[in-house]
């Protein structure tokens, strides 16, 4: 088969079914997404609750009461209050690098377990907080949880999934993020009526954290990671179990080949900077950067605050966050059903165009187009384009950059809003235009291509092929054991 046709047909197809075992496993793993979503969604509502502000941020509360002293867009402009939201993302950034080493040396499972444990400690510290220090330290623990889970869960899902439904399964992660955000919005809506309701809001995160810790003890390790750590027999049995067939020789052999190529690498961090991995480095860096520059987290973190600024009552503001959260969940379903059928590019381009229009018109609806484009694809694409030898490093870069810009937006947005008011949305619109052009020219389609076969995708791309001179060795090696080697 000609290489172009090989890519178009979605690459090599292995035998195997979508087993219940793999679906349940992925559901448990995606719990990490739920926790991330919960933490994303909870602060916006909590920081608009009066008893919370009175206890921890009396200056902001005073500012709020004293309407005449300040421009209404500046009511919430307080660095300590923003640090409460944003400290989590700095901690996640740092933790993602440690997580990369944990998941490479010990497997994806321990990373997920540790992630759950950090979430648990963070939720308890926050729920029982008696001062600002306890609040911020709790957020830092939650951040470690996010760093560990966001590094390991998307990789875990991509490695467990059969290629033909990898997109949909991986988007389970984003689906859980949006369910977590919605759950947080609903809980805030309910607890805001009680004096110490914020404690419940912050503490309830402990429940899914326990589920993730316990669940991850029962999860199975991915075949890729088992092979990487020399457990070949176990890896083959696992592959048979997750694919529901004994005939996994071809896929197993490709995983072994990929692992052998990976084991020649001495320094995975240096490796990803090599010319041959330029596309992976580029996408693992730019996709998270662009994802945050869509401005999504302005809505996620500050929707209740924005609605308060616009003059809505506290109840209505929290309700608006619930509606935004609900739309977010439903819109994510669109991508679950479309991503493996129509591909990643179409969703990116359609979502980008729609976000551009709604941001220029200053409408809240950029939220739903994000939920089927940059939201899920921001986690899917980086996790599926990296071959084994650069996967933990690539994913850590993705998480770290994502967290850095999430932190940046959380930290400066209220201050920028104070100065630029709603004109700020034109700034995000300009970035959406840039990222849509970036995808149109540089991102090849990756739907249905097995993770360890991605090199063909770069090889046949007009721009990236010039970075792949040495790739022929890899290709020849990868096909030593197969008759199905594609030819030019």
Size, binding site for ligand BGC by CB under 6 A? 15
Indicate the residue among 271 and 402 with the shorter CB distance to ligand BGC: 402
What single-letter DSSP state applies at residue 487?
B
The C-alpha atoms of residue 396 and residue 380 are separated, in whole angstroms, by 14
The residue from 29, 238, 300, 386 that contacts ligand BGC (CB under 6 A) is 300
Q: Is 399 in the site for ligand BGC (CB under 6 A)?
A: no
The residue from 271, 328, 366, 383 that contacts ligand BGC (CB under 6 A) is 328
Q: Tokens representing 218?
A: 């029962």
The C-alpha atoms of residue 146 and residue 342 are separated, in whole angstroms, by 30
The C-alpha atoms of residue 162 and residue 287 are separated, in whole angstroms, by 24
Indicate the residue among 14 and 370 with the shorter CB distance to ligand BGC: 370
Indicate the residue among 366 and 406 with the shorter CB distance to ligand BGC: 406
Indicate the residue among 302 and 456 with the shorter CB distance to ligand BGC: 302
Indicate the residue among 166 and 461 with the shorter CB distance to ligand BGC: 166
The C-alpha atoms of residue 284 and residue 379 are separated, in whole angstroms, by 10
Q: Least CB distance from residue 148 to ligand BGC, whole Å? A: 15
For 356, residues 6+ apart whose C-beta sits below 8 A from its C-beta are 429, 432, 433, 436
Q: Least CB distance from residue 149 to ligand BGC, whole Å? A: 12
Q: What are phi and psi of 487, to 5 degrees?
A: -120, 165
Torsion, CA 61, CA 62, CA 64, CA 67, rounded to 10 = 170
Are the CB atoms for 212 and 148 separated by under 8 Å? no
Q: Least CB distance from residue 9 to ligand BGC, whole Å? A: 30
| Terminal Cα distance for the chain, rounded | 8
Indicate the residue among 48 and 366 with the shorter CB distance to ligand BGC: 366
Q: Is 177 in the site for ligand BGC (CB under 6 A)?
A: yes
Q: How far is CA 150 from CA 95, 100, 157, 248, in A?
A: 10, 10, 11, 29
Q: Least CB distance from residue 421 to ligand BGC, whole Å? A: 23
Q: Is 178 in the site for ligand BGC (CB under 6 A)?
A: yes
Q: Least CB distance from residue 43 to ligand BGC, whole Å? A: 11
Q: Least CB distance from residue 134 to ligand BGC, whole Å? A: 25
Q: What are phi and psi of 334, to 5 degrees?
A: -55, -45
- Which of 102-110, 137-145, 268-276, 292-300 is the region at the interface with ligand BGC (rule: CB under 6 A)? 292-300
Indicate the residue among 382 and 444 with the shorter CB distance to ligand BGC: 382
Q: Is 152 in the site for ligand BGC (CB under 6 A)?
A: no
Are the CB atoms for 334 and 65 separated by under 8 Å? no
Indicate the residue among 436 and 460 with the shorter CB distance to ligand BGC: 436
Q: Least CB distance from residue 181 to ligand BGC, whole Å? A: 6
Indicate the residue among 381 and 386 with the shorter CB distance to ligand BGC: 381
For 161, residues 6+ apart whose C-beta sits below 8 A from its C-beta are 22, 26, 169, 170
Q: How far is CA 420 from the centre of its chain?
A: 29
Are the CB atoms for 301 and 42 separated by under 8 Å? no
Q: Is 406 in the site for ligand BGC (CB under 6 A)?
A: yes
Q: Least CB distance from residue 405 to ligand BGC, whole Å? A: 9
Q: Which of residues 350-379 bind ligand BGC (CB under 6 A)?
A: 375, 378-379
Give the ranges where 9-49 is alpha helix by DSSP (H): 20-29, 31-46
Q: Is 174 in the site for ligand BGC (CB under 6 A)?
A: yes
Q: Tokens representing 94?
A: 């740092």
Element (H, E) at 120: helix 108-127
Q: Least CB distance from residue 318 to ligand BGC, whole Å? A: 17
Q: Least CB distance from residue 174 to ligand BGC, whole Å? A: 5
Q: Is 185 in the site for ligand BGC (CB under 6 A)?
A: no
The residue from 29, 30, 40, 261 that contacts ligand BGC (CB under 6 A) is 40
For 260, residues 6+ apart whose C-beta sits below 8 A from its C-beta are 477
Are the CB atoms for 205 and 359 separated by under 8 Å? no
Q: Least CB distance from residue 178 to ligand BGC, whole Å? A: 5
Q: Least CB distance from residue 180 to ligand BGC, whole Å? A: 9
Q: Is 296 in the site for ligand BGC (CB under 6 A)?
A: yes
- Which of 17-25, 172-180, 214-222, 276-284 is the region at the interface with ligand BGC (rule: CB under 6 A)? 172-180
The C-alpha atoms of residue 405 and residue 403 are separated, in whole angstroms, by 5
Indicate the residue among 43 and 191 with the shorter CB distance to ligand BGC: 43
Q: Is 86 in the site for ligand BGC (CB under 6 A)?
A: no
Q: Between vectors from CA 469 to CA 466 and to CA 471, what angle results, nearest 5°?
A: 120
- Which of 8-16, 99-107, 164-172, 290-298 is the region at the interface with ligand BGC (rule: CB under 6 A)? 290-298
Closest CA to 26 of 187, 219, 194: 219
Query: Rule CB under 6 A: which residues touch ligand BGC?
Result: 40, 174, 177-178, 181, 291, 296-297, 300, 328, 375, 378-379, 402, 406
């Amino acid at each position: 088969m000609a290489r172009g046709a090989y890519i178009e047909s979605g690459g090599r197809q292995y035998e195997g079914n979508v087993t219940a075992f793999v679906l349940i496993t992925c559901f448990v793993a995606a719990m990490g997404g739920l926790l991330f979503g919960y933490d994303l969604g909870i602060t916006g509502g909590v920081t608009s609750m009066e008893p919370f502000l009175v206890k921890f941020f009396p200056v902001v509360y005073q500012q709020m009461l004293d309407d005449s002293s300040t421009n209404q867009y500046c009511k919430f402009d307080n660095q300590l209050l923003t640090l409460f939201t944003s400290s989590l993302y700095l901690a996640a950034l740092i933790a993602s690098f440690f997580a990369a080493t944990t998941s490479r040396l010990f497997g994806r499972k321990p990373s997920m377990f540790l992630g759950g444990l950090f979430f648990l400690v963070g939720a308890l510290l926050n729920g029982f907080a008696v001062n600002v220090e306890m609040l911020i330290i709790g957020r830092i623990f939650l951040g470690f949880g996010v760093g560990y889970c966001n590094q390991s869960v998307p990789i875990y899902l991509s490695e467990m999934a059969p290629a033909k439904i990898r997109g949909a399964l991986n988007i389970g992660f984003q689906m859980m993020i949006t369910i977590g955000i919605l759950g947080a919005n609903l809980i805030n809506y309910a607890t805001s009526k009680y004096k110490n309701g914020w404690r419940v809001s912050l503490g309830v995160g402990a429940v899914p954290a326990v589920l993730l810790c316990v669940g991850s003890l029962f999860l199975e390790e991915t075949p890729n990671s088992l092979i990487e750590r020399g457990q070949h027999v176990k890896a083959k049995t696992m592959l048979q179990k997750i694919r529901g067939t004994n005939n996994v020789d071809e896929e197993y052999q490709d995983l072994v080949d990929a692992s052998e190529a990976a084991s020649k690498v001495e320094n995975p961090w240096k490796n990803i900077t090599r010319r041959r991995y330029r596309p992976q480095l580029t996408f693992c860096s730019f996709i998270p950067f662009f994802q945050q520059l869509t401005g999504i987290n302005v809505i996620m973190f500050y929707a209740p605050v924005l609605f308060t600024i616009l003059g809505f009552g506290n109840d209505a503001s929290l309700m608006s966050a619930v509606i935004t959260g609900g739309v977010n969940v439903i819109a994510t379903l669109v991508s679950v059903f479309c991503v493996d059928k129509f591909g990643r590019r179409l969703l990116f381009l359609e979502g980008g165009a729609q976000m551009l229009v709604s941001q220029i018109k200053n409408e809240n609806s950029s939220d739903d187009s994000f939920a089927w484009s940059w939201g899920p694809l921001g986690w899917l694409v980086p996790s599926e384009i990296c071959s084994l030898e650069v996967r933990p490093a690539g994913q850590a870069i993705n998480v770290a950059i994502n967290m850095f810009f999430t932190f940046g937006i959380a930290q400066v947005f209220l201050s920028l809003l104070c100065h630029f008011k709603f004109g700020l949305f034109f700034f995000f619109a300009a970035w959406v235009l840039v990222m849509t052009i970036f995808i149109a020219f540089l991102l090849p389609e990756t739907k249905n291509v097995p993770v360890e076969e991605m090199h063909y995708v770069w090889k046949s791309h007009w721009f990236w092929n010039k970075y792949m001179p040495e790739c022929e060795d890899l290709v020849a090696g990868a096909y030593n054991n197969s008759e199905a080697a594609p030819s030019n």
